[in-house]
Structure 1
Amino acid sequence: MAFCGKCGQKIEEGIKFCPACGAPVEVNATQSAQSQQPAGGYNQADIEQNKVMAVLAYFGILVLIPIFAAKESKFARFHSNQGLVLCIAAVLYGVAYSILSAVVLAISWRLYFVVSLLGLVSIVFAVLAVIGIINAANGKAKELPVIGKFKILK
């Protein structure tokens, strides 16, 4: 399968003009080999077309956009899975922290300082999101530390 040199749209073989932008399609041997050869298991054209979707996957609930909009992209799907696991972990942490805070505050307001220190753990989720955004922007499909091994999406 070839890709348009102007807009990057997938083009069926044998078509002379891009259906998206109308530009003439030149398919030479190097472009054809490069578009079909996966780079690290992912198609290079797929990576270039879906970097924005992959980056968007690390912004909390916005992970739903690449999940539904880039279903066919392996690269965006990988980062959507990473972002979804990160979002679920952050929500679970928030719920657990809220419950723990309420219980400790009900027992004694003096102990609340100790629980508030546990709130600093939320910085870890921000750091993991930044790592994921950097990997997605650079076109890499690296798993996030600690939570990257969990797979929710196929």
Structure 2
Amino acid sequence: MAFCKNCGTEVQGSAKFCTNCGVLVEAELEAEAKAEPKAEEKTKSEAKTETETKTEANVNTDSGTDEKKKTEDRFKEAEDKFKEVMDTPDTTADYSEEDIANNKVMAILAYIGILVLVPIFGAKNSPFAQFHASQGVNLIIAEFVSGLALRLIYYIVPSGLCLIVSLLQSLVGIAVLALTIYGIYNAVSGKAKELPLIGGFKILNTNRN
């Protein structure tokens, strides 16, 4: 059933003109028929745009998730590597409790620069003190060698790279400080645990009873 768009009068199916106002009904119906596909086309276009937006959002979400996972994997890998470096031999069980208790101070002095000479010569009969003296000697040598190498590099490289060398010197200084603190912590805790990276070198002969 159709109605005249002009006056609203009901129009018979076969009528071409409105019986009330005389407006051409066919023209209105054709215009309406043409408008419907446009509306449908617009709806499809909107639906397509919405789908593309959702797809793009999903892609961005997946990309963000992958990047987050990669970051987590890197942190996990770095953490595992750090644990591996810190997992050094612990020979505390090889020393008597009496030796450890009586020579903790000597063991601490082993990590304070030149004072390493105190346990070397003043606690010759203490295997525990000698162990830490050996670690202290390794630390002093590592500090000296790295400092000398960086100083030589500083004079060799172009002036534009001197800032990088200075940064490396700072990092080495931080590393030496960290190893010193770690060694003192082991001494205070009564542990005979090697320093990371440098503790395995046997430069100073130690004796154990």
Fold match by TM threshold 0.5:
yes
- One-letter amino acid of the structure 1 residue matched with residue 127 of structure 2: K
Matching residue of 1:134: 185
Q: How does 1:4-153 map to 2 (within 5 A)?
A: 40-104=93-157, 108-119=158-169, 120-152=171-203, 153=205
Structure 2: tracts of 5 or more residues without a match: 1-91
- One-letter amino acid of the structure 2 residue matched with residue 89 of structure 1: A
Q: How many angstroms does 1:146 deviate by?
A: 0.8
SS at match of 1:118: helix
- One-letter amino acid of the structure 2 residue matched with residue 130 of structure 1: I
- One-letter amino acid of the structure 1 residue matched with residue 185 of structure 2: I
Percent of matched pairs sharing the same residue: 52
Cα deviation 1:9-53 (Å, max 9, x = unaligned): xxxxxxxxxxxxxxxxxxxxxxxxxxxxxx711111111111000
Structure 1: tracts of 5 or more residues without a match: 1-38
Q: Which structure has the bigger radius of gyration?
A: 2
CA RMSD of aligned residues (A): 1.2
Length-normalised TM-score, structure 2: 0.52
SS at match of 2:138: helix
2: CA distance, partners of 1:68 / 1:92: 24
In the TM superposition, structure 1's runs of 4+ consecutive aligned residues that sit over 2 Å from their partners are none
2: CA distance, partners of 1:111 / 1:88: 26
Length-normalised TM-score, structure 1: 0.70
1: CA distance, partners of 2:165 / 2:127: 41
2: CA distance, partners of 1:43 / 1:111: 51
